[in-house]
Structure 1
Amino acid sequence: MITCFDIGGTTIKAATATTPDSLIHLGRQPTPTQDFEVFVAVIAGFVAKGGAPGGSPIAISITGVIDPQTGLVTCANIPCIDGKVLSDELAARLDRPVTVANDADCFVLAEATSGAGRGHRVVFGAILGTGVGGGIVVDQKLHPGAGGLGGEWGHGTIVATKVDVAPYDLPHFACGCGLSGCLDTVGGARGMERLHRHLHGAELPSTSIVDAWSAGDSAASQTIDLFIALLAPPLALVVNIIGPDIVPVGGGLGNSRELIARIDAAVRPRILRHLDRPLIVPAELTADAGLVGAAALGLGAGA
C-alpha cells in the first residue's frame, strides 16, 4: 500500500492505493503554506487516517519544480517547503520512504499509464491551466529533464508578434519567469483572458470566453482564433522535436473538447508526420491525475 498526495497552493488531496488505478480517497484539507510543522502534521494525519502500515511509502505530486539530481524543491506557492529537500525531510520525520514529483510530471505519467496515453510509447502531456506546462513519458518512464524542467514548453521568447488573425501585430507580454513573449503569457487561461482584454477591452474569465465562443459569439470567436494562432505553432514545434504518439491536454482549458479539437486541427497540418487520427486529445484523468501519477511513481512505474 502507498499513501499518495496531490498538493497545490490551496489544497492537499490524499488517497491510498495498491495500484495506480485503485485509489481510496482520504479527503482534502487546505494547504498549510507558511508553517512547515503544520504541513508535516497534515501529511502525517492523512497517513494515519489511511491506515498504511509502518514503513510503507509516500508519493507526492506537488506544484513547483523538483530538481531530480538534488531533490530540492522550488515552490513559490508554498513558502514553507521552498528550498527544502522535501522527500528527505518527510522521510526522516515520518520514518518511511518519500517520493516527490512535479504535478505536471505526475499528470503525464498518469495519462501515459492509465489515461489517454495507454498503449503509446511516447506521450507528451500538455497542461493548459492557469498557465502552460507539460511533461514527457517515454516507454512509461518519466523524463524529468535537467533541473526537473523537461516538457516546460510554456517559456522562452517564442510567441509570434505578427499573425494572420486580427490584430495582425501584437506586443510581447511580460512573463512571471522574467522573460517576455513566453507562451505562458497567452496560452493558458490567464493568457486567453489577456488576449480577450487586449482585443475587446473586456474582463471575462476563460470559462465564459470558451462558452461564448461555443455559442457563436463573434468577440469570443476572434479571441479563440487568435489564441489558437499563437498556440498551435509552438505546440507543433514541440511535437516535431519530441515525436509523441499522442498529446493529452489537461488543465482547465482541457475540459473543452471542442477547443482541443480546434487545437488538434491547427497543429496536425504544421507537423512533419502525417496522421489521419487526432494527436492532441483531451486528458482522460482530470480530478485524480495527480494522485494516480504519484501512486504510479511511488509504486515504481515511471521511475
Structure 2
Amino acid sequence: MDWRSARMILCGDIGGTTIRLAEALSPRDIMLRQHVPTPTQDFEAFVAVLRTAVVQAKTPPRALALSLAGVIDPDTGLATVANIPCLSGRPLLADLTAALGLPVILANDADCFALAEAQIGAGRGHAVVFGLILGTGVGGGVVVHGELIAETGFAGEIGHGPVAQRILDDPAVTLPAFACGCGLTGCLDAVCSARGMERLHRHLHGQDSDSRAIVGGWQDGDIAAAQTIAVWLAVLSGPLAMVQNVLGAGIIVVGGGLSTAPALVAALDVAVRARILRRTDRPLVVPAQCDVEPGLIGAAILGLALADKIPRPV
C-alpha cells in the first residue's frame, strides 16, 4: 500500500435532505462515492449510512470528517443540528467515534466553506478570509492564515443575533422584527437568506415570489423587485461592513444559492465597501470559486490534517 492510499480519508457533507460521502487523498483529489437520503429521525440508520461507506471504501479510511449544518458545544460536546433531530442533544463526536471505530472530526458547514475557499478558492493569498453563506440560511466562518479560528461552528455566525436594522433611511422603510428559527427576532437569517428575501418581498408588496424570481425581476427592471433588493442590501451591508471592520478580512467570499447571481454579489460588494472604514477600490465581496462542493473540501482539509497526526501503517 503506497502512502497516498494509506492517507485516504472519508469526508461527508451532511444536509437535512442528502448525505454526500467522498474519498479524499487531498483537497483537490476528492472522489464522490455515495449520495443518499439523510435519516433525520433515526440515529442508528444515520450511523449505518456512514458504516456502509467505511466498509465499501476502496482503501480502509484513516479518518472520517463531516461537514454539517450545526454546532458542537465546546463545553459539553453536545451537538445542535436543527435539520437532523436525531443528531441534536448527543455527544456526537464521541458517539460516532465509538460506533465507527475511526477517528472522527466534525465541523460546521459554513466553517468548511470558508476553509475551502481560503485554501483553494477565492480566498487564496489572503491572510484573513470571511466566508459568507447566503442560501436557505445565513452563516459565516473565519479563516486566519489558512486555519479556522475555531472549529465549534459558533465563530463567524453573522446570521444570528438581533442586529437587522428595522428603520431604514434609504430606502425609507420600517420593518417588523421578523422571528428567526433560532428563537430570537431581528436576525439576518430571517431577512437576508433566500427565504428571508421572500419574506421581505411579501411584507413590502404582499406578493409571494421565489427568491430567484425576485433577483431576476430586479435584473430585468421590475420596480417591486428593485425595492426588495434595495432593502435587502441595506439590511445586510451594514452588519457585514461591521464584521469587516472587526476582522480586516482581505476578502469576503460568498457562497450559497444567492451567490449564483453575480450581479447581486457585485451590488452587495458596492454597498459594503461604501460602509467600511478602510475604503478600497478593489472588489471585497466576491463569489465563491470552488467547483467541488465546498463542504466536502473543507471537511477533507480537516480530515487529512487529522490523519497526518495518526502514525502511518507500515
- TM-score category (smaller protein): over 0.9
Q: What residue in structure 1 maps to residue 137 of structure 2? A: 131
Q: SS of the residue aligned with 2:102?
A: coil
Q: State yes or no: 1:209 paired with 2:200.
A: no
Query: Could you tell which deviates more after superposition, 44-53 or 259-268?
Result: 44-53
| 1:78 to partner: Cα distance | 1.1
Partners of 2:76 and 2:184 lie apart in 1 by 26
**Equivalent of 2:303, from 274, 292, 298?**
298
Alignment check: 8 A CA contact 1:68 1:144 kept: no
Q: State yes or no: 1:143 paired with 2:149.
A: yes
> What amino acid sits opposite 1:195 in the alignment?
L
Q: What residue in structure 2 maps to residue 116 of structure 1? A: 122
Runs (5+) with no aligned partner, structure 1: none
| 1:164 to partner: Cα distance | 2.5
Q: What residue in structure 1 maps to residue 5 of structure 2? A: none
**Equivalent of 2:290, from 285, 289, 295?**
285
Question: 1:167–1:49: structure 2 CA closer, same or farther, 3 Å change rule?
Answer: farther
TM-score by length of 1: 0.94
Query: Could you tell which deviates more after superposition, 43-52 or 254-263?
Result: 43-52
| 1:236 to partner: Cα distance | 0.2
Q: How does 1:88-237 map to 2 (within 5 A)?
A: 88-144=94-150, 148-237=153-242
Q: State yes or no: 1:20 paired with 2:27.
A: yes
| 1:86 to partner: Cα distance | 1.9
> What amino acid sits opposite 2:15 in the alignment?
G
| 1:27 to partner: Cα distance | 2.6
Question: 1:132–1:36: structure 2 CA closer, same or farther, 3 Å change rule?
Answer: same
Q: SS of the residue aligned with 1:239?
A: helix
Structure 1 vs Structure 2 CA RMSD: 1.7
> What amino acid sits opposite 1:98 in the alignment?
V
Q: SS of the residue aligned with 1:26?
A: strand
Give the total of aligned pairs.
300
| 1:77 to partner: Cα distance | 1.3
Q: State yes or no: 1:241 paired with 2:246.
A: yes
What is the identity percentage for the equivalent residue pairs of Structure 1 and Structure 2?
A: 56
Q: What residue in structure 1 maps to residue 81 of structure 2? A: 75
**Equivalent of 2:14, from 3, 7, 10?**
7
| 1:166 to partner: Cα distance | 4.0
TM-score by length of 2: 0.91
Q: What residue in structure 1 maps to residue 279 of structure 2? A: 274
Map Cα deviations across residues 186-243 of structure 1 (whole Å, 9 max, x no partner): 1111111011101110001101111111111111111111110111111000000111
Alignment check: 8 A CA contact 2:20 2:35 kept: yes
Alignment check: 8 A CA contact 1:167 1:199 kept: no
Q: SS of the residue aligned with 2:83?
A: coil
Runs (5+) with no aligned partner, structure 2: 1-7, 310-314
> What amino acid sits opposite 1:218 in the alignment?
I
Runs of 4+ aligned structure 1 residues displaced above 4 Å come to none
